[in-house]
Chains A and B, each alone.
Chain A
Amino acid sequence: MASASSSLLTKMPTPSNTTISFSASLSPALPLFPSQFYLRRHRRTGNALRVQSKIREIFMPALSSTMTEGKIVSWIKSEGDLLSKGESVVVVESDKADMDVETFYDGILAAIVVPEGESAPVGAPIGLLAETEDEIAEAKAKAASAGGSAPAPAAATPAVSPSPPVPAPAASAPPPPLPADGPRKTVATPFAKKLAKQHKVDISKVVGTGPFGRVTPGDIEAAAGIVPTKPKVAAPAVAAQPAPIAAAAPPKAASAPSTPALPGSTVVPFTTMQAAVSKNMLESLSVPSFRVGYPIATDALDALYEKVKPKGVTMTALLAKAAAMALAQHPVVNASCKDGRSFTYNDNINIAVAVAINGGLITPVLQDADKLDLYLLSQKWKELVEKARAKQLQPNEYNSGTFTLSNLGMFGVDRFDAILPPGQGAIMAVGASKPTVVADKDGFFSVKNKMLVNVTADHRIVYGADLAAFLKTFSKIIENPESLTM
């Protein structure tokens, strides 16, 4: 099969073989967000910190903006072949075309990780490039141990792809809906599978509402937090892809003055991620939300924090744990309204926590936060933040939240107001804890640390009393935080 040509373009002035370059590296730096600047900087720091090895990873390039995985049509080179910079190494088939992929580096093709005919997600390693023959064995061992997940990083070079890289489905991305998807109980229609892949929704976690309990396209859209409009809307969903990432985005209006263009102003188009944030923020307008604030004394919490801090417990973990415990008693606040007609109660309490990263924000999710203890939670959180900074979060690590926590207290913000992310019932905005003069019931004044929390909720399912009761529980937990350590 002569597939090395982009068959669509044959008679066009350009040569029929579209050639794309990938960069080879061992860095797992997946292009989660198309911010080249960020990636590059990251690489430098990575290089500085890490021990160098001259084995580079060849990974699946993003050949188009909609490509999430590619299939290896053929390896032009075989293991042991000498490669020189600019040579075509492999032919990759994307959703659009077959393209030759060339190397940026001289070296030896040490190992083929993904054989011909198989698919790999964008960014996943498909082969290893060794600089000298001595390293071939090492590379082979690496390939054998890689087993699909990102191997230990060494030299780091980001992927440079011709189009904005797609938000990353990392090594063990969502289940491919195509043939042989194994024995799964869930029955999903073809279009539902396509949508799930597009929106990175884990089908096995979606409850099907179609005939015979099958998962319909509507179910996926609901799970992805998309307002089901016409089915066609889903098709050109480049911008919608990272939707779940930003789904839990609290308002971060940091520097977004929206004035008409003044002379001398510059227009910077949104990155894919920023576009997704924008889209989600607009979508939130269709949800009738309301806010309830609550002052909470934090002296006890602060004292506890001082005690557990040496053990690696973070304030985020404390707050997440407290929120999760409160949610366990008020399941409606952990619920969501997907179709405007019903409550969807979530079995798990997954606390998404907003984190600002360069040029955007992301909400890593602490799953089952009510069940994990503080120490595990803290550890988990550290991992998630590291992964987020390295753009390595798996989709279910940022889109599975059932409740969001946003804390701007560290900036001295005393109170703020969060926008409800699509697909969730409530979001909590936490302000700074400040010494406040309070009068007790006997009229004695004292100074106590107080923080203001402000919860935004979907009033279709969460009513004022629900939220008030939840906040009361939450404040009790914070004010008597011993239970947090249990």
Chain B
Amino acid sequence: MQASLSLSVSNPAAIPRSGHGFESSLPFPSKPVNLRFCGLRREALGFSSTSSSSSSSSSSISAYRSNRNAARSKKVWASLGGDNGSSSSAPKSFDYDLIIIGAGVGGHGAALHAVEKGLKTAIVEGDVVGGTCVNRGCVPSKALLAVSGRMRELQNEHHLKALGLQVSAASYDRQGVADHANNLATKIRSNLTNSMKALGVDILTGFGTVLGPQKVKVGKDTVVTAKDIIIATGSVPFVPKGIEVDGKTVITSDHALKLESIPDWIAIVGSGYIGLEFSDVYTALGSEVTFVEALDQLMPGFDPEIGKLAQRVLINPRKIDYHTGVFATKITPAKDGKPVTIELIDAKTKEPKETLEVDAALIATGRAPFTNGLGLENINVATQRGFIPVDERMRVIDSNGDRVPHLFCIGDANGKMMLAHAASAQGISVVEQLTGRDHVLNHLSIPAACFTHPEISMVGLTEPQAREKAELEGFEVAVAKTSFKANTKALAENEGEGLAKLIYRPDNGEILGVHIFGLHAADLIHEASNAIALGTRIQDLKLAVHAHPTLSEVLDELFKSAKVSF
């Protein structure tokens, strides 16, 4: 009771603006945790707000990942060192039940769930709490996208006029936008830290190395033991060779999120969701964008139909052009009064094609696992292109193909599904196993979203994947679609552009995949992902009731339009 009270007081104080929007991000909605969990978490946050200033400063002391290997705060929390010391071989009793290396969203999710299950838990972080998502990924990018979305609306005179609004020219202050992103990251970071502290998770500051089974070195010389270890070290932006990143004109998402400049013309190498989101931000802020994509189609990985529609809305009408089927073999930063140059070769024939001259280049070619220096050699684990091999229960596999006891790897480091909430779900799955309940995470139930304007979201298989699977396994596939144009709420917002697509088995009503492009698609997908996770069939979903008028009726109609044969 008290906890919930303090929450409501501290919240508005901490967030003077847009408290509403912010509150929703406090419980980390991206993580598929049971609802009842939320109560706990809120409690933790309520507590923490009072001491937030001290803790956030402690986390910001630690330097950046780049000089992670350098000597850093040797101290582990005092309580720790005293308690255990470095016990040597084959300890009977462990310092902890569970040690998690990496305090990103995956590690955080695992830690909270472990505490919930009564495990004594520590989390090791060599950089800042929050990892990529909070500090250099999803979180700050959402701040930028919130700005770009509003800019887009304000710049769209036609749209505003249709609503009867008149707004004089919209403009922005770059530093203000950058600050908003940075403040958001700081805020979420301290929330994350505090929630763990409040629940009694020990945060061990220092670079974590696996010394042997059940043994981890933190920083230079502190050794901690645990019954089980989870590696959750995440990833860093992947920069193909030949590309020289200077952090100013040739940048990765890490730099771009700081928004230190807004170039007139930026090339974005890679048209996946990272590139796409940045194209949304940059074009809204006035840049022109050129995509460089190695595959023949933009937006690989999306359902082709959705990708095509998205291209018509997100790319063709905007100040964007693109080169597909080409590799950027060499990118040279701007210097000596010369622009950034990008040398392209044909992806198939490898013949040189042309050289682009632009003001800046953003490398969004994906992310590489961050697993160097983890001490994997100590336990005979060989990475595959940097990824740590795991089985479907996230148990680490060594180079002989045997599983390493008591060692798990979740999140980007295992490469199964490089999404923050997937990492968290994997962590929770591991904790479930550790506490006596076998659990295999169904990755096909994990939704993904791209926060462009409008948004794109998906769960399960794409249509080609589903058809391929159907061919192999010998079942029928059917597709149903609904348009946002027929949705009252979307029309009220004058945002009728959009499509929802359901791929399913007409024989038994199983959902194989759902893809949405349209207003608030990222929020709409969860009805489908929950249905997949829980195995709900379409014939049952058809009977569910949706409030009118809401965007959720797009999915309601989608399910209702499916033709299930019983």
Contact = CB atoms under 8 A, between A and B. Distances in A.
A190 B321 contact: yes
B155 A8 contact: no
B249 interface: no
B182 interface: no
Contacts of A190: 265, 288-290, 319-321
Given A7-B308, A8-B483, A212 B497 contact: no
Nearest to B316: A95
B463 A189 contact: no
A7 B305 contact: yes
B43 to A, nearest CB: 44
A193 B290 CA distance: 11
Nearest to A183: B354
Contacts of A260: none
Across chains A and B, which 8 residue pairs bring their CB atoms closest together, nearest first? A190-B321, A191-B319, A10-B481, A11-B483, A11-B482, A11-B486, A190-B288, A189-B288
Nearest to A184: B354
Interface in B445-504: 463-464, 479, 481-483, 485-486, 497, 499
26 contacts: A1-B304, A3-B308, A7-B499, A8-B309, A8-B483, A11-B482, A11-B483, A11-B486, A11-B561, A12-B483, A16-B481, A98-B308, A178-B321, A179-B324, A179-B326, A180-B323, A180-B353, A182-B354, A189-B265, A190-B265, A190-B319, A191-B288, A194-B319, A194-B321, A211-B264, A232-B157
Given A95-B316, A189-B265, A190-B321, A12 B305 contact: no
A212 B557 CA distance: 53
Interface in A1-40: 1-3, 7-12, 16
Contacts of B481: 7, 10-11, 16
B322 A8 contact: no
A217 B264 CA distance: 12
Contacts of B339: 211-212
A212 B357 contact: yes
A243 to B, nearest CB: 20
A239 to B, nearest CB: 15
A163 to B, nearest CB: 17
Task: Tell me which of B155, B464, B481 has the highest count of chain A C-beta atoms within 10 A of its own C-beta.
Answer: B481
B479 A2 contact: yes
A187 interface: yes
Contacts of A360: none
Given A96-B312, A180-B353, A212-B357, A193 B321 contact: yes
Interface in A192-208: 193-194
A337 B479 CA distance: 57
B228 interface: no
Given A96-B312, A190-B288, A214 B483 contact: no
B319 A211 contact: no
B45 to A, nearest CB: 41
Interface in B152-199: 155, 157-158
A179 B323 contact: yes
Interface in B296-351: 304-305, 308-309, 312, 316-317, 319-326, 338-339
A447 interface: no
Interface residues of A, number: 34
A187 B357 CA distance: 7
B359 interface: yes
Interface residues on B, range: 35 or more
A153 interface: no
A7 B309 contact: yes
Contact of A235 (B305, B317, B479, B486): B317
A1 B321 CA distance: 23
Nearest to A216: B264
Contacts of B158: 236
B499 to A, nearest CB: 6
Contacts of A194: 319, 321
Nearest to B317: A235
Contacts of A193: 321
B359 A211 contact: yes
A217 B287 CA distance: 12
A177 interface: yes
B386 to A, nearest CB: 31
Contacts of A217: 319
A295 B317 CA distance: 52
Contacts of B338: 212
Contacts of B308: 3, 7, 98
A262 B394 CA distance: 82
A433 B219 CA distance: 99
Interface string A153-195: 0000000000000000000000001111011000101110110
Contact of B463 (A2, A191, A211): A2
A191 B319 CA distance: 5
Contacts of B561: 11
Contacts of B353: 180
Given A11-B481, A177-B321, A187-B357, 12 more contacts: A1-B304, A10-B483, A11-B482, A12-B486, A16-B481, A189-B265, A190-B289, A190-B320, A191-B288, A212-B338, A214-B357, A232-B157
Contact of A179 (B265, B322, B463, B485): B322
Nearest to B357: A187
A8 B497 CA distance: 7
B305 A11 contact: no
A60 to B, nearest CB: 18
Contact of B305 (A2, A182, A236): A2
Contacts of B290: 190
Contacts of A180: 323, 353
A447 to B, nearest CB: 63
B308 to A, nearest CB: 7
B485 A11 contact: yes
B172 to A, nearest CB: 16
A235 B326 CA distance: 29
Given A12-B485, A191-B288, A232 B155 contact: yes
B233 to A, nearest CB: 38
A9 B359 contact: no
Contacts of A179: 322-326
Contacts of A2: 305, 463, 479
A141 B326 CA distance: 35
B250 to A, nearest CB: 16
Contacts of B499: 7-8, 10
B66 to A, nearest CB: 31
Given A211-B339, A211-B359, A232-B157, A178 B309 contact: no
Interface in A249-302: none
Contacts of B304: 1, 3
Contacts of A236: 158
A2 to B, nearest CB: 7
Contacts of B497: 8
A222 B289 CA distance: 22
A187 B355 CA distance: 10
A11 B359 CA distance: 43
A178 B322 contact: yes
Nearest to B482: A11
A74 to B, nearest CB: 13
Contacts of A96: 312
Contacts of A178: 321-322
B485 to A, nearest CB: 6
Contacts of B316: 95
Contacts of A211: 264, 339, 359
A180 B308 CA distance: 20
Interface in B114-171: 155, 157-158
Interface string B84-107: 000000000000000000000000
Nearest to A93: B308
Given A16-B481, A187-B357, A11 B265 contact: no
A64 B319 CA distance: 21
A260 to B, nearest CB: 27
A211 B320 CA distance: 18
Nearest to B324: A179
